[in-house]
Amino acid sequence: MKNQISTPGFLWPLLALICVVVILIGLYAALRRTDWSRSAGTKWFAEIAVSIVVWITILVILAGKGFFAHFEKIPPRPALAILIPLPFVLIFAFSKRGTQLLESMPKQWPIYMQSFRIFVELLIWFAFLSGKLPVQMTAEGFNFDLLTGLFAFPVGYLCFRKKTWPKGVAIAYNILGLLLLVNVLVIAMLSMPTSSRVFMNEPSTELVARIPFILLPGVLVPIAYSMHIISLRQLLHKKKPGSGFIGL
């Protein structure tokens, strides 16, 4: 069956686009629940939206020029696509404005968002079947990230809608989700054609340095760890009295 199944390349940018749109819709909804002025909220929303568009544009241009397809140094350049958004996410999550925004956001939202990882794993699986990614990147190998996506709605719903599960379950979910994400990232790095390559079976994971697959490390992975960071920030931050919101 391997090498006989192929998926259109546009599914990667389509998934990334859907995820970004959903995040922006949720962000806008959260902004409307703050006490900020309309102009301040609109400006903040526009800055975030433009920043995302600029980042994706830079990512695609660099990938098109082959910038990420250099594996001579450790860590390989695709790691930059993963790490560059991280400080901006942390600044957002721990800034005063960011904290205010997260206080107005239902706690289940960032957890629900993790369900997109189901579709990521499906695309990775089909890439394996078509001979583009190695087996260790799939659930058949050492990638168990699918579990994060599958448990997203049950954890979010039962912890914060039905409230039959304690908040600690959501905290544990986020921590385990981050660990599973780190696990697959390490596997991907150790499967790249570098001097430190551990998984020698072919193909390597050099595919993620090219368009449209650069969207996996450059957009989809940052979305995954961003939702965990945001959720943990919500759950561990002591909100001011009267700032709670249950939501949908």
Cβ 53 vs Cβ 16: under 8 Å: no
201: pLDDT strictly greater than 50: yes
Least confident of 29-38, 78-87, 203-212: 29-38
Cα–Cα distance measured from residue 247 to residue 97, given in angstroms and rounded to the nearest whole number = 20
69: which residues sit within 8 A by CB, 6+ positions away? Answer: 63, 77, 206, 209, 210
H helix count then E strand count, the chain: 12, 0
How many CA atoms within 13 Å lie on the side-chain side of 227? 32
53: pLDDT strictly greater than 80: yes
194: pLDDT strictly greater than 80: yes
| C-alpha triplet 15, 169, 148: angle, nearest 5° | 25
Cα–Cα distance measured from residue 214 to residue 222, given in angstroms and rounded to the nearest whole number = 12
> Does 239 or 85 have the greater pLDDT score?
85
- Across 55-65, average pLDDT: 97
Q: Phi, psi (5° rounding) for residue 21?
A: -65, -45
pLDDT for 247: 39
Classify residue 3 as left (phi > 0), alpha (psi -120 to 50) or beta: left
pLDDT for 221: 98
In the chain, domain spans: 11-236
Q: What is the pTM of this model?
A: 0.92
Question: Could you give the percent of the chain with pLDDT greater than 90?
Answer: 79
pLDDT-derived band at 75 (thresholds 50, 70, 90) equals: confident
The distance between the two most distant Cα atoms of the chain, rounded to a whole number of Å, is 58
Give pLDDT tens digits for 205-229.
999 999 999 999 999 999 999 999 9
